[in-house]
Amino acid sequence: MKLVLLGAAGSGKGTLAKNIVKDFNLPQLSTGDILREIAKENSKLGETVASYQKEGKLVPDEITFEVLKNRLSKNDCLNGYILDGYPRTLNQAKLLAKITDIDAVISIELDLDEIVKRLVSRRNCPKCGEIDNTNHEGYNGLCRKCQTPLFQRDDDKPDAIKARLEVYKQNITPLINFYGDKVFVVSSAGSPEETYKPVKTFLEGLKNE
């Protein structure tokens, strides 16, 4: 199964992806994560990527598409994958269509206010990748899995959040139209489990087709 996940920053896209990974044994390819790794490199490319990411702007297509193609050519992608963060624009979807056929697109919907609330309180573990938030009881700034001090992503600050959501809003409708009846829409207003349930049923159906 080749899946695309669509959802604004803070919509619960990463969490949903992890649930799918667990049950369907597909690798999760997050272009955001891959690009963040590249941004750490001490190179011209790293510097360029970092400058876009920091401001919440899209990294240019020449870079992202190369990075993606390279990732898709790895052996673990042979039986399918979950694309998390690609495509983000109609043009990216068209580029992707040249190299592969997508089976289904899961689009996560959530109110803008709720998204902003989730993003400003989001914290990440630098060691194991766990994502947490500051608004629950018992939050102490340490990773609940490995006890490492959590950090806030540079682009989870208000200005960059606004920029990312704006970019998302502009691009989502053309993307949904492009994929047409391959799109399955789910709301993430409830808990992670509530969000995942209909998706799981949908994917099980798809698998048995």
- Chain residues binding Zn ion by CB under 5 A are 125, 127-128, 130, 143, 145-146, 148
Q: Does 188 bind ligand ADP (CB under 6 A)?
A: no
Query: How far is it, in rounded angstroms, from Cα 63 to Cα 43?
Result: 14
The interface partner of residue 5, options being Zn ion, ligand ADP, none and the CB cut-off 5 to 8 Å by kind, is: none
Residue from 31, 107, 188, 195 in contact with ligand ADP (CB under 6 A): 31
Q: Does 123 bind ligand ADP (CB under 6 A)?
A: no
Query: How far is it, in rounded angstroms, from Cα 57 to Cα 160?
Result: 8
| Binding-residue pattern over the window 137 to 156 for ligand ADP, x denoting contact by CB under 6 A | ------------------x-
Helices (H), 106-157: 112-120
Stated as kind and residue range, the H or E segment containing 59 is none
Q: Which of 2, 71, 118, 153 is labelled catalytic?
A: 153
Cα angle for residues 168, 25, 204 (degrees, 5° grid): 80
Q: Which of 2, 118, 122, 123 is labelled catalytic?
A: 122
Q: Does 16 bind ligand ADP (CB under 6 A)?
A: no
Token pair belonging to 107: 């689009």
